[in-house]
Structure 1
């Protein structure tokens, strides 16, 4: 059981598009366990593999005590009108900004046995599915902010003690 350190905004792994999981092996099994261990800490809704320094398409989630993971997730459906939703990110500690997110989202991927996994929901789950798949596409939520809010957020990043 390993809780991995979270990579912070500015780390190149967070800007790169993650590669698909090609083969389920002991390394992928260990990665999944690390993702699950890392997301179990209080206050965490999701952790994407790039956030722990691994550039593959995988994330874990912890929504209302429901903890799981998905490999090679693809955001296949969103619905409703995007709503400004309060959002933060472990890779951008201390910041919280309204981010436009669809109220409903659906992700399809697979588990460690190669079986299809479908995650679908509203509210926090929908937000987490969008947030984590963004990470796998090399995007941090700050890039979704309107230009003025993004300027404020980037100033906050530059002035933070972790940057």
Structure 2
């Protein structure tokens, strides 16, 4: 596994539209593993492939306190299940040490390859 450099805002590459993953192969699996290593080393809970300069629809997350529940989402589609929203304090590894409350739907459905 390898630590990957994380792009920092205002790097224009962060605005690149990610393409769908067409085939899950060893290269995609290795990228996901490297992204987890990078995310954990940066004390993050989520990382998108675009943040490591790979412009494909791949996200890794681990919301657990013990960092032992890794999730991989490939080609994710997020659908709100309610009009209700809740504020969540969020940060971003591409905008270090900046946190703010963001309104998000209270419930969502996520469809993705994993």
Q: What is the TM-score when the length of structure 1 is the normalising length? A: 0.62
Larger radius of gyration: 1
For residues 22-50 of structure 1, give each alpha carbon's deviation from its aligned partner in whole angstroms, at most 9, with x where no partner exists. Answer: 12233212211112222223631100000
Secondary structure in 2 matching 1:40: helix
Unaligned runs of at least 5 residues, structure 1? 112-163
SS at match of 1:27: helix
2:106 maps to 1:103:
yes
CA contact (8 A) 1:39 1:62 kept: no
Task: Name the CA distance, whole Å, in 2 between partners of 1:97 and 1:20.
Answer: 29
Q: Unaligned regions of 5+ residues in structure 2, if any?
A: none
Query: Any residues of structure 2 matched to 1:111-150 within 5 Å, and which?
Result: 111=114
The Cα RMSD (Å) is: 1.7
The answer as to whether partners of 1:6 and 1:51 remain within 8 angstroms in 2 is: yes
The alignment covers a number of residue pairs equal to: 111
Q: Quick one: distance in 1 between partners of 2:31 and 2:81?
A: 28
Is the Cα contact below 8 Å between 1:36 and 1:69 reproduced in 2? Answer: no
The answer as to 2:79 corresponding to 1:76 is: yes
**TM-fit CA distance, 1:19:** 0.2
